[in-house]
A and B are shown apart, each in its own frame.
Chain A
Amino acid sequence: MPIVIAPTNCLLKIVRIAADDKTKKHLENLGITLNSEITILSCSGGSVVCRVKDGRIALDRDISTKIFVA
């Protein structure tokens, strides 16, 4: 499921990133890679704040519908 509808505050695993190459690369640099862990801290109207490694990353609705977790 995309992270916009994922449960908050539990450990999730990223299974697919359906963004364009440039954006995907940037996400990877920030630690949002396939197979890595992510925790959703808050989701308001599609905008997501998540914890990746020890950092907090904010994403807009458009991009967060393209990151899928299991």
Chain B
Amino acid sequence: MKKFALAGNPNSGKTTLFNSLTGSTAHVGNWPGVTVDKREGVYKKTPNPVQIIDLPGIYSLSPYTPEEVIARNYILDEKPDCVINIVDATNLERNLYLTTQLLEIDVPVVVALNMMDAVEKAGDKIDAAELQAKLGVPVIAISALKETGLKDLMNRAYEASGAEREGATVLSDTPVAHLIGDVKIALKGQNVEDPLFHAVKLVENDSIEVEMHKETTPMIEEFKHTFSDEVFGDDFEALIADGRYKYISKNFASAVTKKEKDTLKMTKSDKADKVLTHKIWGIPIFVVILFAIFHLTFAEDFLYLGAIFKLPTLEELGLLDEAGEPLNAGVLILSTLYDGQLSSPGVFINNVWNDLIVGQFFGWLGGLVEESSMAPWAIGLINNGIFDGISAVLSFLPPILVLFLFFSILEDSGYMARIAFILDRMFRRFGLSGRAFMPMIMGFGCSVPAMINARTLADEKERTATIRVIPFFSCGAKLPILTACAGAIVAWFGISNADAITFGMYILGIVAAIVTVLLMRSTTLKGETPPFIMELPAYHAPQFKNLMAHLWDKTKHFVKKAFTIILASTIVIWLLSHFSFNWHFLEDEQINESILAGVSQFFQPLFTPLGFGSQLGQYGWVFVVAVVAGLIAKENVIATFATLAACLMAVVGMDFGKLAIDAEDGVDAVQAMIMATGITVPAIISFIAFNMTTIPCFAAVGTAKAELDNKKRYNGTLVFWLTTSYCIGAMVYTIGSWWWTLFIWLFVIALVVTGIVLWNKYGKDWRKHLWARGK
């Protein structure tokens, strides 16, 4: 099968084109650096199917960041049959800079002039035929988004792939043209492939090339001594860059007709940036947007209308029966939207999903199982083990999707890139560049792609620090822990504002990330903060198709996980909690004699400083089980509670009062844990904090290992996660329980800070001194 590679500048629409050609749903976002690894698919409408390879975006073939190396090496080493060079027509000159380099390689090239619809919308014109005549390779106007011109593009690429093409350079008018020619002949003599390309890069003094062709470099050095340009001196690299741009503006300017002659005129994007990246207002606007997102997703009392106008509850309106249940189906539906306070859109969707769909469905399914003639233990396994565990996890699909939708909108509109910019000044104080914000915010979705995206960071130490703190940006799988615990705190202790608790926990995670980064960057990962240089894409309205593709991907991932890894884990946990050490089956009431209880009770004391250890009495071990199950997948934490809830309720046999606790709902499962163990609010919050910051799930740990690619760094990372989460948990619990311990913590922190500052200042002298004495 023929191989076509998609190459182009970051954010020029390669992945959108890839998706349109292959029918994939790869992640697309409006910021440079979304794709960091190559990706393959198949296009079937050419005479023979072709393989399409989507490459990370590159500004040139001299890489700056690790993911750019992937793209360069692919084109040079894997020798695709054709390179489809995607060019963003709205920024033609800059994009053609890469084109001039691709043309130097001996590979068929086809230029896809993307975003032509945006160019036309602005009233400008680009003459594709003229460009084609000047470039000497086919140029096809397309819109990857609207899927126009794709067939034509692929047919032309297919034709081009049949013929050989020899590299051509645009540098023949520059003072180094002669030198490039000589080096090319020398390389050809050594049977180097793509001699022209390598010759140009060698003259540019590209570090990878110099390493590859050591024997040819003296020739260039010799030439350099005899050469001097009045502007560039002997800086060949700058001279060549200038040569390319000069050629582009001289030869291709005539193909572009601009409607707006005044080049200094502000576009709409520029005007929006005046406000959104404002020196003072930029950060407050960001915080308000973030809070609005959380409020829309989690607020039980939307816009605080209930609290402000003292609206009556359904009970006060006489719409509930004596048991506190809705009088009829109409009231049940109404209750999803209103109960003394208006539900926010997120909560409304959540209520509909849980009260009307998942709750009813699993209730019905559970009933069927109950009435069947299966053995009681089988009924227990299916109803309490499997159904409760899975439904508890599935019940969190709505908040995850709603939250993710908002983040996708921010991402697709182009605002994310601005946030990275406005946060850069702040991040810089902690030893990171604003660029690190991208992988971090991706962490809110899932740590795995976030850690991979950290490849966009050019500095290795910055990358390590970023990968380590990514799990602190609470991912979708940790959201159930947060919502269930916050919901249970609200329901059980009567403290209101679930959205504020959730928002607070997210902020705690971010603060933990900042503090630990600062700590690492001043101790084990010292180094200069790399510069922040980032392209700001033009704002555009989020694409419905894109958003839906993101949500669909997320749903698929989540549901798949629920029915595989989480299903398996809940079954194992149920079995371990129903068998004793000599493999006798146990009734629900005998749970404390189970294998699970025996093992966990052994580790229970470890968590005493965090508030969920020995002080919780004989059933406190459930929290240990949840923590360990969470290491496999974080959804397991709540699934575990749901699986164990039935047993605990059977033993504790409490008066449930008006609360209908049915464990199918994660919030109820946590309430059952609170009843059985008597855990306090600070301890629950410490439990959330510990799970948020401790070793993430299997998948994320594996990714961290692969991305760090250094055994010492990886082990250090595991230790880092454990200590950080333990300290944070202990801090939250002790300060929450006894406020005066705050001073002890402050004292300890002050001591550590002083220690680090002194060590950084005098450490070298001390070591030298000790060493001298030892001698």
| A60 touching B532 in the complex, CB below 8 Å, given contacts A31-B245, A49-B277 | yes
Contacts of A36 in B (CB 8 A): 242, 245
Give the CA-CA distance A9 to B271 in the complex, in Å. 12
Interface pairs (29), CB distance under 8 Å: A9-B264, A9-B266, A23-B533, A25-B60, A25-B62, A25-B64, A26-B59, A29-B241, A30-B94, A31-B93, A33-B238, A33-B242, A34-B231, A34-B232, A35-B231, A42-B277, A49-B277, A56-B536, A57-B533, A57-B534, A57-B535, A57-B536, A58-B417, A58-B421, A58-B534, A60-B425, A60-B531, A60-B533, A61-B425
Tell me the smallest distance from the CB of A66 to a CB of chain B, in Å. Answer: 9
Q: Tell me whether A33 and B245 are in contact (CB under 8 A).
A: yes
Give the CA-CA distance A9 to B538 in the complex, in Å. 18
Q: Tell me whether B273 and A49 are in contact (CB under 8 A).
A: yes
| A1 CB–B CB distance under 8 Å | no
Contacts of A39 in B (CB 8 A): 263-264
Q: Tell me whether A41 and B270 are in contact (CB under 8 A).
A: yes
| A70 CB–B CB distance under 8 Å | no
Q: Tell me whether B241 and A33 are in contact (CB under 8 A).
A: yes
Partner of A53, one of B94, B231, B534: B94
Q: Tell me whether A44 and B278 are in contact (CB under 8 A).
A: yes
Q: Tell me whether A34 and B421 are in contact (CB under 8 A).
A: no
Contacts of B62 in A (CB 8 A): 25, 29
Q: Tell me whether B93 and A53 are in contact (CB under 8 A).
A: yes
Contacts of A58 in B (CB 8 A): 277, 417, 421, 424, 532-536
Tell me the smallest distance from the CB of B528 to a CB of chain A, in Å. Answer: 9
Give the CA-CA distance A58 to B59 in the complex, in Å. 15
| A29 touching B535 in the complex, CB below 8 Å, given contacts A49-B421, A53-B93 | no
Partner of A42, one of B232, B264, B274, B425: B274
Give the CA-CA distance A28 to B23 in the complex, in Å. 36
Give the CA-CA distance A45 to B281 in the complex, in Å. 13
Binary interface profile of A, 31-70, with partner B (CB < 8 Å = 1, else 0)? 1011110010110111101011111111111110000000
Partner of A52, one of B92, B94, B537, B538: B94
Interface residues of A (CB under 8 A from B): 9-11, 17, 19, 21-31, 33-36, 39, 41-42, 44-47, 49, 51-63
Partner of A30, one of B242, B263, B279, B533: B533
Q: Tell me whether A27 and B533 are in contact (CB under 8 A).
A: yes
Most buried by A among B242, B270, B277, B531: B531
Give the CA-CA distance A49 to B271 in the complex, in Å. 12
| B194 CB–A CB distance under 8 Å | no
Q: Tell me whether A11 and B94 are in contact (CB under 8 A).
A: no
Q: Tell me whether A47 and B425 are in contact (CB under 8 A).
A: yes
Contacts of A55 in B (CB 8 A): 91, 94, 535
Closest 8 CB pairs of A and B: A44-B279, A29-B59, A60-B532, A28-B241, A29-B60, A54-B91, A56-B536, A63-B531
Give the CA-CA distance A24 to B425 in the complex, in Å. 21
Give the CA-CA distance A63 to B91 in the complex, in Å. 23
Q: Tell me whether A30 and B277 are in contact (CB under 8 A).
A: no
Tell me the smallest distance from the CB of A54 to a CB of chain B, in Å. Answer: 4
Give the CA-CA distance A47 to B424 in the complex, in Å. 9
Contacts of A33 in B (CB 8 A): 238, 241-242, 245
| A34 touching B94 in the complex, CB below 8 Å, given contacts A57-B535, A63-B532 | no
| B97 CB–A CB distance under 8 Å | yes
Q: Tell me whether B278 and A60 are in contact (CB under 8 A).
A: no
| A45 touching B279 in the complex, CB below 8 Å, given contacts A26-B64, A29-B59, A36-B242 | yes
Tell me the smallest distance from the CB of B278 to a CB of chain A, in Å. Answer: 7
Give the CA-CA distance A61 to B529 in the complex, in Å. 12
Give the CA-CA distance A42 to B277 in the complex, in Å. 9
Name the interface residues of B81-117: CB closer than 8 Å to any CB of A.
Answer: 90-94, 97
Most buried by A among B60, B533, B536: B533
- Beyond A45-B279, A58-B532, 10 additional contacts (C-beta under 8 Å) are A25-B60, A28-B241, A29-B64, A34-B231, A41-B270, A47-B424, A49-B273, A53-B93, A56-B270, A58-B424
Tell me the smallest distance from the CB of A61 to a CB of chain B, in Å. Answer: 7
Q: Tell me whether A53 and B536 are in contact (CB under 8 A).
A: no
Contacts of B428 in A (CB 8 A): 60, 62
Nearest-CB residue, chain A, relative to B243: A33
Most buried by B among A35, A36, A42, A54: A54
| A56 touching B269 in the complex, CB below 8 Å, given contacts A25-B64, A63-B531, A63-B533 | yes
Contacts of B487 in A (CB 8 A): none
Tell me the smallest distance from the CB of A24 to a CB of chain B, in Å. Answer: 7
Contacts of A41 in B (CB 8 A): 266, 270, 273
Nearest-CB residue, chain A, relative to B59: A29
| A54 touching B92 in the complex, CB below 8 Å, given contacts A28-B241, A33-B245 | yes
Q: Tell me whether A60 and B434 are in contact (CB under 8 A).
A: yes
Partner of A31, one of B97, B279, B433: B97
Give the CA-CA distance A47 to B277 in the complex, in Å. 10
| B589 CB–A CB distance under 8 Å | no
| B237 CB–A CB distance under 8 Å | yes
Contacts of B536 in A (CB 8 A): 49, 56-58
Nearest-CB residue, chain A, relative to B274: A42
Partner of B263, one of A11, A24, A47, A56: A11
Give the CA-CA distance A9 to B269 in the complex, in Å. 15
